[in-house]
Amino acid sequence: MVVDQEGVVETPAPAHRGGWWRRDHPVFIPLTGFFTGTVLVSIIVVALGAVLRLIGLDLTENPQYFAIAIAALLVIDAGLMVWERSRRFARYMLFGLLITPVVAGATAALTLYLLINND
């Protein structure tokens, strides 16, 4: 609180709590969005498998549960795209959601290829 010569009280604006990197760094939102999508795909698959195992169901016999979980992630991402402030984050999150299975599949295919050819 600052009082000037005329007795007027001025309150300084509060400092931004997030620091410079949250509002000014150009790669903060893309990186957090991409890795959020990557982590969510991984967590959803593992958590869904664990829950189905606890219930006594097998994911290979009930693939519709996997499709429902992935559809829920896409609906959440679409909801984030509607809100203008989170649209950029949601685009990179969608990229992370879509690229993770591609990278995992390509890595598995390359590993299998190398194992078969080097045997």
The residue ranges of every structural domain in the chain are 28-117
Q: Kindly report which listed range (15-19, 39-43, 61-65, 66-70) carries the lowest average pLDDT score.
A: 15-19
Task: Record the pTM.
Answer: 0.70
The pLDDT score that the predictor gives to residue 39 is 92
- The mean pLDDT of the chain is 83
10: phi then psi, degrees, rounded to nearest 5: -115, 130
**Residue at 30: amino acid letter:** P
How would residue 15 be classed by pLDDT, with cut points 50, 70 and 90?
Answer: low
**pLDDT, mean of residues 72-78:** 91
Determine contact, residues 33/90, Cβ cutoff 8 Å: yes
**Residue at 76: amino acid letter:** I
DSSP element (H, E) containing 2: strand 2-3
